Structure 1
Amino acid sequence: MKVSIIVPCYSVASKLPRCVHNLLAQTFTDWELILIDDGSTDNTWDICNSFTKNNAHIHAVHKENGGVSSARNTGIEIAKGEFITFIDSDDYVKPDYLQKLVEGQEADLVLCGFRSSTGIDFTPEPQYLIGDDLSKNIQAIVENDYLLYSPWCKLFRRDIIQKHQHRFDPEIRLGEDTIFCYKYLLYCSSIKVVASNSYFYDGVWGGYKKYVLTRQEVEYLDKAEITTLHNINQHFNCRIDLTYRGYHVAMLKGLYEKFRDYDTFEMYTRTHDVLPPEHFFANHKLSYIFWGIVELETLYVDKEYCAGKLFMQRLHHFFTIPTNQLLSYSYKMRLIHYLVKSKHYTMAHVLLIFLSILKH
């Protein structure tokens, strides 16, 4: 068996048939398909079972709901192929998808591009990286969000995964797939990038899910990502900038769009201490600055100096205020946090306007 295709499924009865039918149309035929039903609440399990009846190379497993990481790990445990690829159950692939990936089978990791329902059409430049070439180019691979964001569009070696007991972290609800890909890099001596976009991602790229991580989860995820990237820097002797990576950064990137969705805003306010006055959201530019300050200040207040310095660097990155100005206004940022907590919204708003002027 050459390739094991692992598809985690949760209540996707309307889209799963499209996913499987497109896999059945693959021009490359030496594969097995593992459908993992993660405790679906619709008839997804029945659909999984129906595909196994006339296809000996399709296997279906039903398990209690444990999340996508748990489902993928279950698939890894029973996979028999020389290689493993992951496909999301609401996505689909073109007939040449597996064939294109297998063309890079001499490498420890094969990467390709994708298209999305929102108009993204990413076809990477082909390259084969090994030895010094891998060390020189690993930073560009990591910093290209399209290449390592998720486990799909990739071909992993099963023997590497098993040798290192490499698994998805079930403790992480969001971003677990990126961490999985980052850590796998540490076991790679070669990477092949193929010029293909045969994977179709049927979702919103970088979109927020309809739940908000707790602060403890954010800190756990941030630590996992920063630690892994630090290890990559050490292993490949490269200089990935850790300051602007991590989930705190990803969270800030989406704040502006996130709070335009009132339902998501309501969910956020139920799980966070600081409740802003609604009029701040009349001006999205100010709300973006406001939430960047409050969120990071809340996360790092009363921590050691290094954490405070990291806080200032991240604000510099997101609000494009020169570092020398930014450091001189750190007291005002802390004051905004205090004023909001004390419900002195008018004074906080004045300071926000002042900071927004600095931004230009």
Structure 2
Amino acid sequence: MYLSTMQQALVSVLTPFKNTADFLPACIKSIQSQTHTFWELIIVDDNSTDNSYEIVNSYAERDPRIKLFKNNGTGIISALRLAFNESKGAFITRMDSDDIMSPDKLQFMLHDLKIHGKGHIALGLVQYFSNSGHLGNGFQRYETWLNKLTIKGDNFKEIYKECAIPSPCWMVYRTDLEACKAFQPERYPEDYDLAFRFYKGQLKCIPSNKVLHQWRDYPDRASRTDEHYSKNHFIPLKIRYFLKLDYDNKRPLALWGAGHKGKMVARKLIANRIPFTWLCNNEKKIGKHIYGQELHSFEYLKTFKQPQCIITVANPEEQTKIVRHLQSSGMKPIEDYYLFC
């Protein structure tokens, strides 16, 4: 009975790595220092050209919980797929090879999952750090936004704005991850795509107010350099899932914003033959046509009955005003309006 309970509490930590020799020792040591000790680290070398493999192997030779593999394909999705296939745990979490876990990260998330049961995602707050002591404003804004959602468990309310599930700071039951098709789709950015599939699977986010993950920022980080994480990949993914999960063709659709992202969304909607009304706040644009679509004042929204609205206005102050305006009309996030930036 004791062994059965322990086996159910095995946590599989899935970690791809590529050329992160400088950071792997700190990452692995943070896993070895966990207060929950019944874990396995399934760590996959994604074609490194430095001595990362040798570093990990030196740890694996001394700790049987560390299981090292070489990617039989190319890219992080292939590496994650291999790691998941080789894992045995009833609970699954991800870890980035250049980051650091707080000592009680696994214990804290595991406890939350056991309390709330299947159909939930355990989360923690994240904290960016840099060896240079300087963080980009974008990362600081993302941390603040993400943690604000996680504290309330409201992550999916702004799923279309950014990746609302921190990619290396979640834990789910294995069966729930399998139901969401784990790492099968070859679709980037893979962390955002998985977040959408968690949302599609109606998993519930468990609120958390504890910092569990130290997220390292540095010039060569993949999110800064890999083309798969370019913002140009985000809009197609958002449109894909919006049309699949939330779009109601029986309701009028409005697109609010005619800047760069607004135009990208408009092109995607037109390509998918989705009718929409284009709104903007810029008086110089109102009445003009872009891609054959006339731009209307936001007041035009009042002429529709039960509209859906995609917001692409990036300016935080303007976005707040728009949300307040929509909420004053009784519109609700994810049900009636969707923040796309």
Tell whether the structures are fold-level matches, with TM greater than 0.5: yes
User: What is aligned with 2:121?
Assistant: 109
- Mapped to 2, the partners of 1:183 and 1:232 lie a distance apart of 10
- Mapped to 1, the partners of 2:87 and 2:25 lie a distance apart of 21
Identity across the alignment (%): 18
Tell me if 1:12 matches 2:20. Answer: yes
8 Å Cα contact 1:35-1:59 kept in structure 2: yes
Please show how residues 1-360 of structure 1 align to structure 2 within 5 Å: 1=7, 2-64=10-72, 66-105=74-113, 106-107=116-117, 108-117=120-129, 118=135, 120=143, 122=147, 139-140=156-157, 142=159, 145=162, 147-148=164-165, 150-167=166-183, 169-172=185-188, 175-203=189-217, 209-210=224-225, 212=227, 218=232, 222-233=235-246, 292=260, 296=264, 306=274, 309=276, 312=278, 316=280, 320-321=281-282, 326-330=285-289
1:17 alignment partner, SS class: helix
Write the letter of the residue equivalent to 2:126: F
Q: Which structure features the higher share of strand residues?
A: 2
- Cα offset, 1:123, TM superposition: 6.4
- Cα offset, 1:139, TM superposition: 4.7
- Cα offset, 1:17, TM superposition: 0.8
Q: Which structure features the higher share of helix residues?
A: 1
Distance 1:112 1:232, change over 3 A: farther
- Cα offset, 1:214, TM superposition: 12
8 Å Cα contact 1:88-1:152 kept in structure 2: yes
8 Å Cα contact 2:57-2:68 kept in structure 1: yes
1:70 alignment partner, SS class: helix
- Mapped to 2, the partners of 1:333 and 1:204 lie a distance apart of 43
Query: When the two structures are superposed, what TM-score results if normalisation uses the length of structure 2?
Result: 0.63
Query: Cα deviations across residues 61-85 of structure 1 (Å, max 9, x unaligned)?
Result: 0125511111111111111111111
Distance 1:123 1:163, change over 3 A: closer
- Mapped to 2, the partners of 1:109 and 1:301 lie a distance apart of 31
Write the letter of the residue equivalent to 1:140: K
Say what the alpha-carbon RMSD is for the aligned residues: 4.3
Distance 1:326 1:127, change over 3 A: same
Distance 1:104 1:57, change over 3 A: same
- Cα offset, 1:38, TM superposition: 0.4
1:13 alignment partner, SS class: coil
- Mapped to 2, the partners of 1:80 and 1:72 lie a distance apart of 14
- Mapped to 1, the partners of 2:12 and 2:240 lie a distance apart of 30
- Cα offset, 1:330, TM superposition: 2.8
- Mapped to 1, the partners of 2:229 and 2:25 lie a distance apart of 35
- Mapped to 2, the partners of 1:331 and 1:141 lie a distance apart of 27
8 Å Cα contact 1:10-1:44 kept in structure 2: yes
Write the letter of the residue equivalent to 2:181: Q
Q: Which is further off, 32-41 or 111-120?
A: 111-120
- Mapped to 2, the partners of 1:331 and 1:161 lie a distance apart of 42
Is there any run of 5+ residues in structure 2 with no aligned partner, and where? Answer: 1-6, 130-134, 294-317, 319-341
Distance 1:231 1:204, change over 3 A: farther
1:100 alignment partner, SS class: helix
8 Å Cα contact 1:8-1:68 kept in structure 2: yes
Write the letter of the residue equivalent to 1:183: R
- Count of residue pairs the alignment pairs up: 265
- Mapped to 1, the partners of 2:55 and 2:110 lie a distance apart of 28
Q: Which is further off, 206-215 or 42-51?
A: 206-215
